[in-house]
Chain A
Amino acid sequence: MTDTQWRVYEVFHQQARGEPHVHVGSVHAPDPETALLMAKEQFGRRQACVNMWVVPQEAISATSYEDADLFQHTTDKSYREPFGYETTKRARAIGDPQEL
């Protein structure tokens, strides 16, 4: 769908220093400064936020949903899971093994 408005900026929001920036949505804006200005009120006014990123949508390279099978595991890849670690064993002893 063509967008007749301003450029779209994707907005990423960080709840505390050291936490990952999480994608929360997008805003229309003519430039990055205005995008931050808009993003602050759209996404920063209800939840805690210490830092915000805006990224021009066209700067993002993405896979296609048609290629979702790229991420499927057809054979057993459980050897990649961290079940050999001591902490995992302790957690397994306390909790539901299905959860691990």
Chain B
Amino acid sequence: MSRALFQPKLADDWQTAVADLLVRLADDELVIGHRNSEWTGLAPILEADIAFSSMAQDEIGHALAYYRLLHELGYPDPDTMAFLREPQDFRCASLVSIPKGDWSVSIVRQFLYDTAETVRLEALCDSAYEPLASLARKLRTEEKYHLLHGKTWLHRLGDATDESHRRVQTALDLLWPHALGLFEPTRWDRTLANERIQPSEPTLAQEWRARVEPLLTDASLVAPEGVEPLFGGRVGRHPPSLAELIAAMQKVFRLDPGAQW
């Protein structure tokens, strides 16, 4: 499929900026949803398995909603966006694609990601792009549980035993630069802020840190200092783990893209 189809020519600069933002939002959700679904059947206990799998479904549902907004702007339908693009066409941050690791890595990632998503959704509720604002207001309700899930687990693991504490702190050190990369500034930052579609990425990053750090302290964890963010995802430069994930995710669909399910 040609590249141009995935990036239709839009009438205005602001529309292009909105579309770029929507692709980032959708791809983050789809990829973390897929990663988290890898715990289905394998999480530490049945109850945790059901909760984590259910949240993975929520994230994929959010991705679908963002892809639908893109479709309204002239992009291909959601299935094509999810299953027929190449890794370099994706605009997700590296945080969502790195392998699921052990339970502590996935829990810390879920916590960092959903805190960021909450901050972003709260800002988007006031977006001048009304379809996005109304979607953000809807999705925010589900994030309440995701945030509670992340906080509760982080607190338990951070405070339980020496081993659990060591594992979550190690996971936090590993994930921190990737999490900072969620707020990679793009060339559309200024347009999005000027048009009041979304605050700039550095503004969101600052708000995220202000929320995350006290929660880490509560869980006896320390946010790494002086770490450079890992950028690249928003311009299509990804760690090899994304290509592996996408190959697995698209495998069945690509066997017969026209199949009726």
Contacts and interface: CB of A to CB of B under 8 A. Distances in A.
Interface string A52-86: 00000000000000000000000000000000000
B148 interface: yes
B156 A34 contact: yes
A70 B145 CA distance: 44
Given A31-B156, A33-B152, A34-B156, A41 B45 contact: no
Nearest to B52: A41
A45 B145 CA distance: 11
Interface in B1-57: 45-48, 50-51, 54-55
B47 A27 contact: yes
Given A30-B156, A33-B152, A42 B145 contact: no
B137 interface: no
A5 B148 CA distance: 23
Nearest to B55: A41
Nearest to B160: A30
A47 B253 CA distance: 32
B149 interface: yes
Contacts of A40: 51, 145
Given A5-B45, A6-B45, A28-B45, A41 B156 contact: no
Given A6-B45, A42-B50, A45-B54, 13 more contacts: A27-B47, A28-B45, A31-B156, A34-B152, A34-B156, A37-B149, A38-B47, A38-B48, A38-B50, A41-B47, A41-B51, A41-B55, A41-B145
15 contacts: A5-B45, A27-B47, A28-B47, A31-B156, A34-B152, A34-B156, A37-B51, A37-B148, A38-B48, A38-B51, A41-B47, A41-B55, A41-B145, A42-B50, A42-B51
Interface of A: 5-6, 27-31, 33-34, 37-38, 40-42, 45
